[in-house]
Structures are given as structure tokens and as C-alpha cells.
Amino acid sequence: MKTSVILAALSLASATPIASSSAVFEVSITFNGVNGASFSQNFPADDSLVAITNPLNVSSIASVGGGFCTFTGVDGSSVVLDGEQTVSVSPPQPQKWGSCQTA
């Protein structure tokens, strides 16, 4: 009986969200694919390098603003977004890494 109470308390503790009070501002980025598909990913505006795992072949990258971001493609493309804008990836290619900071 006591054991099950302790286990319940432990599982509650581990389900507690981590550090939700010290929220880092995140930049929402949309990746537009050559085939018309798109996906979005959030990047913390703290200059950290974030892996982009979606394999979509990306032809342009759009930001709704709020940050300064750079993206690197699998074939070496480099795209810089400064605030709210859409920039083409040339030639189109899947994206590998992104990082944002406050503008």
C-alpha cells in the first residue's frame, strides 16, 4: 500500500513541466516545400543551434517576425531572415540547422 502511494507521488513529480516560468521567446518559422507542402518549427531566440529533422525539400523560408534567424541546408545553402520576411532557398534543398536570436 505504502509503496503504491510513493510510486504515484514519483510519477506526479516527473510529469511536472520543466521551468515553464523562465520561457525563452521563440520565433515561429514556416518552411515551404517545392511540392507545395510546408511545415512550421519554433526556434528559441537564444542563438542555440536547432536541428531541423523534417526532410521536406524547401524552396523558401518565412518568418512572421520577432527574430534574426539563419538556416543551413543539407547542400550548404545559407538563408538569413531578419524580421518578417520570406527568403528563397537556392537551389531548393532540405534544411538541416537553424538558429535565431532576438532582432
Ligand X SMILES: *[C@@H]1O[C@H](CO)[C@@H](O)[C@H](O)[C@H]1NC(C)=O
Footprint on this chain of ligand X (rule: CB under 6 A):
34, 57, 91-94
Choose between 45 and 58: whose C-beta lies nearer to ligand X.
58
- How far apart (Å, rounded) are the C-alpha atoms in residues 31 and 71? 11
CB of 59 to ligand X, least distance (A): 7
CB of 39 to ligand X, least distance (A): 15
Choose between 67 and 94: whose C-beta lies nearer to ligand X.
94
- How far apart (Å, rounded) are the C-alpha atoms in residues 67 and 27? 6
Choose between 28 and 38: whose C-beta lies nearer to ligand X.
38
CB of 61 to ligand X, least distance (A): 14
